[in-house]
Structure 1
Amino acid sequence: MVLVPLPRMTTKTVGAMRVDALVDSVGPTRLPEELLRDAPDDIAERAGDWVRPYLSDDGRMILAYQSFLIRLDGRVILVDCAVGEDGNFPARPDWHLGKSNWLNHLGLAGMRPQDIDTVFLTHLHMDHTGWLTRNVGGVWQPTFPDARHVTSAPELAFWTERHSDFPYMSTSIPDCVAPVQKAGLLGTVAPGDEIAPGLHVVDLAGHSPGMIGLEYRPNGVPLATFNADLMHHPIQMAAPQCATIFCADPDKAVAVRRRKLADYAAHGTVMFCNHFPGECAGLVVPQGDGYRFQSVG
């Protein structure tokens, strides 16, 4: 992965909500057919020219790992915590003991860790929880000591019990999630909850057992969404039937992706996508049997 230099930031305003994308790292990863179940070898060609900027010269998918900073009605909400720094991730050598400019990006957005009032965790995969804690003198301590941290109850229960069964998760839960929980900072929310004016929790379970997202619906219509790992790469919009090899329930992941993409296309909803590189905010545009991603300036 590439350490993202300063300055680099996507800032968007939707209604009364300001959103800054805080990039942790970005770079080419796997070929589409290596990450996506049942993906044809020519999936990129079938998608069309629009997807090429999101692929490396050798056809690998370029992914970003990032958080979203929401400012709304006096609230400061952080959505997900990316990969982090100094993490003990031997199962991912490209992240193991890595460095990051993420905190500098937070500062560039005009915020300090103590300014965050809520940390919203869409799910507890290692690339969404890294900055929950920092290694201070060999001890993992909460990065946002004044913030309320929330995720879904099913997500928290599953990974608390099962993290040691997964090499990718065996260290991230003890190092990143457990210290926040021990400090009494971690609670749960459920689909339907409103965590800020017009900002509602939605059920996205499938990729992870209790994955949730946010929809900004100040007037009942979804103007914007923070959809976690509903998609890992824009190419999945052209092939929504393709789950990833990391999906806990592939069929459920496909069903929720199809349903949400149709809904967002119908309403002109702006999606903020955790893993889309570059301009990560955009619209869902119908194309053939699927969709394409149209970034918004």
Structure 2
Amino acid sequence: MIEIGKFQISRVEEVVLDEDPSLLEQFDHDVLARHRDLLVPDFFNPERNCFRTMIHAWILRTPDKTIVIDTAGGDDKDRPLSPRFHMKKTGFDTRLAAAGVDPEDVDLVLLTHLHVDHVGWNTKLQDGAWVPMFPNAEYVATRTELEVRDPERGARDRPEASWGPYLDSVKPILDAGMMRIVEGDETLMPGIDFVPLPGHAPGMMGIRVRDDGKEAFFIADAMHQPIQIHYPGWSSKYCENRDLATETRANIFRHAADEGALLLPAHFCGPMCGYVRPTSDGYAFEPPAVHP
């Protein structure tokens, strides 16, 4: 558990995946050799020659609200273009309950962006229909993300097989009238602000939590592996606009180094979060003393 003043942060794991080194096209074994102490064993498995990637949801508790940040890949979802998430049975719902989170008690679901591994547990399969997983929650997503993922708008020229995450995990929430549409730069409530983080996805937003002189910054997929703190110009192969993603990441690192903010990316294994510390030639990753 991480505490930021009155806020409490934890996470619930869905699955740990092997990720090919091509995740970061500039990565090679010389880089691994230079940064072995950072990467092995938590972030890179040299025997399997792969990065380790975790899919999970963040749980943010305020004194009177339970908030879920992103909802992982989901179960029973038809994902022909994403075999890692196709028709899975992950047990995430059981682990959510074990973490003390009753879906009926969740007040808000904040969706940083609408990629396949961030929206899956928005819904669950019940009697052959997709119904909200968190029936009493208000879901929140950016206008831009909704526009670019909608098969009738921004996604109409994309392959039909790519429409699944929107149709089974986003549209049912919209149809139920449970979605709040934001621009991604608003204040959600005192101490919690949305921050635009475009590049990886057009309308991706971060969530900044501040209290008692501390800050935690949920940065979604602006960074996939801690090696990117040492090489901020590296974008992942999943970034839709790599140049913009690099610019966004530079702004995040500058802010984190200046303000001492704790960064909480969406997919770190081992230490799930960390700090950006300035060095003589750039930045370095520092894990926290306590991590969820």
TM-score of the superposition, structure 1-length normalised?
A: 0.89
Matched, 1:273 2:265: yes
Distance 1:213 1:100 in 2: 26
Matching residue of 2:117: 127
Matching residue of 1:24: 14
What is the SS of the residue equivalent to 2:285? Answer: strand
Matching residue of 2:24: 36
Query: Does structure 1 retain, via aligned residues, the 8 Å contact 2:18–2:53?
Result: yes
**C-alpha displacement of 1:172:** 1.1
**C-alpha displacement of 1:218:** 3.3
**C-alpha displacement of 1:101:** 2.1
**C-alpha displacement of 1:231:** 0.6
Distance 1:129 1:227 in 2: 16
Per-residue CA deviation, residues 256-277 of structure 1 (Å, 9 max, x unaligned), is 1011112112222112221001
Aligned length: 284
C-alpha spacing 1:206/1:74, structure 2 compared with 1 (3 Å): same
Matched, 1:58 2:48: yes
What is the identity, as a one-letter code, of the residue corresponding to 2:235? Answer: A
Matched, 1:261 2:253: yes
Distance 2:172 2:209 in 1: 30
Distance 2:278 2:18 in 1: 26
Distance 2:57 2:160 in 1: 23
Task: Calculate percent identity across the aligned residue pairs.
Answer: 29
What is the identity, as a one-letter code, of the residue corresponding to 2:40? Answer: R
Per-residue CA deviation, residues 186-208 of structure 1 (Å, 9 max, x unaligned), is 12123432213201000101100
Give ranges in structure 1 of 5+ residues lacking alignment: 1-10
Q: Find the partner of 2:200 among 199, 202, 207.
A: 207
Matching residue of 2:221: 229
C-alpha spacing 1:118/1:234, structure 2 compared with 1 (3 Å): same
Matching residue of 1:8: none
Query: Does structure 1 retain, via aligned residues, the 8 Å contact 2:271–2:287?
Result: no
Matching residue of 2:274: 282
Query: Does structure 1 retain, via aligned residues, the 8 Å contact 2:5–2:214?
Result: no
C-alpha spacing 1:126/1:17, structure 2 compared with 1 (3 Å): same
Distance 1:254 1:177 in 2: 28
Q: Find the partner of 1:170 among 163, 176, 187.
A: 163
What is the identity, as a one-letter code, of the residue corresponding to 2:24? Answer: L
Give ranges in structure 2 of 5+ residues lacking alignment: none
Root-mean-square deviation (CA, aligned residues, Å) is 1.9
Distance 1:19 1:95 in 2: 26
TM-score of the superposition, structure 2-length normalised?
A: 0.91
Query: Does structure 2 retain, via aligned residues, the 8 Å contact 1:282–1:295?
Result: yes
Matching residue of 2:85: 95
